[in-house]
Amino acid sequence: MVNTLHDAARHVFASDNSSGVHPEVLAALSAANEGHTDAYGADPYTQAFGDWARTTFGQGAVALPVLNGTGANVLALQAATPRYGAVLCAASAHINTDEAAAPERSAGLKLITAEHEHGKLSVTAIHAAAAALGSQHHAQPTTLSLSNVTEAGTAYTPDELGALSAAAHEHGMLVHVDGSRLSHAAAHTGAGLRELITDAGIDVLSLGATKNGAMLAEAVIALHPAAAADLPHLRKSTTQLVSKQRFVSAQLLAMYGGDLWLRNAAHANELATRLAEGLAALPGVSLAHPVQSNAVFIEAPAALLEALRGRYVFHGAGTASSPARLMCSFDTREEHVDELLAAASELA
């Protein structure tokens, strides 16, 4: 018997990783728990998730469940990048700023960073980086990595992704998407997963679920034949082959086998919009980035933020160089948002 060790009534805005697990995911884990199955992915839940991936993204898709987002990105980038290659990404990209140099340390991959606008890369940046191709003195940018949604909370549209993919492919690059919050991008843009990935020319995807209501479940989905061929052989050396994999796959099926992924993301996005509108109406508060997902970035007076931070918990100083970030989750409720807004209004 494990006693509850935390305050179950506490709700914070620091991260969607602070939330619990959606009841439908817990039910799926319980249903998968009885009896024995084959290990290391030779179970019916993993097979069913592979079927879903092929139906969703195309019959050539190879889908491998993994445990976490950093592991998914390292595995996906290894599969997409030759030994002499490098990865082009936004300077703000999670693989560059928040993964403890895992792509460099674990996979030996050089990251080449580019400037961005609200987290989004431009076609111009891709063409500029491609100038290094062919020179034996420079790391070769052979992979483009895009975050959708971005670290600024903005969402690429299918047209934007298509243009970036076309520019990368023009130079022989493969295109990776860090989709830890891809569901939120889909909810914002109204596009389906296939539109945002296959139809947009993406070659390999890190598909997220943990931030959207799973316990611990991500997946790498390769669409390009070269990445798909190498992916299974790289997984264990990247420490992402799970022995009791049915429990990871059961979470992914609960999330993506129906519409839970979209319901959860749309709800979190809606409440982020409600939060953003309320905060932006306060004196001295402005939005640092467009609100296109479950993330709200603001610039605000330090006194206001410090008074709120202890109770509601969020990151960032609230300055232009370090906006305060407040995240909504699948289990954020209107009263959570309205309570914060009421407190902020009284303080302001």
pLDDT at 3: 83
Q: For residue 14, is it within any domain? A: no
Per-residue pLDDT of the chain (348 residues; tens, 9 = 90+): 778 999 999 999 999 999 999 999 999 999 999 999 999 999 999 999 999 999 999 999 999 999 999 999 999 999 999 999 999 999 999 999 999 999 999 999 999 999 999 999 999 999 999 999 999 999 999 999 999 999 999 999 999 999 999 999 999 999 999 999 999 999 999 999 999 999 999 999 999 999 999 999 999 999 999 999 999 999 999 999 999 999 999 999 999 999 999 999 999 999 999 999 999 999 999 999 999 999 999 999 999 999 999 999 999 999 999 999 999 999 999 999 999 999 999 998
Long-range contacts of 163-170 (CB under 8 A, 24+ apart): 163/123, 164/121, 164/123, 164/126, 165/200, 165/201, 165/202, 166/201, 167/123, 167/126, 167/127, 168/126, 168/144, 169/201
Q: For residue 328, is it within any domain? A: yes
Q: For residue 118, is it within any domain? A: yes
Give the CATH number, domain containing residue 294. 3.90.1150.10
- For residues 172 and 135, membership in a common domain is answered with yes
* Domain carrying residue 328: 260-347
pLDDT at 210: 98
* Cβ within 8 Å of residue 210, ≥6 positions away: 17, 68, 69, 180, 216, 217, 218
pLDDT at 348: 87
- For residues 216 and 283, membership in a common domain is answered with no
- Distance between CA atoms of residues 184 and 193, nearest Å: 11
- For residues 333 and 229, membership in a common domain is answered with no
pLDDT at 131: 96
- Quote the number of domains for the chain: 2
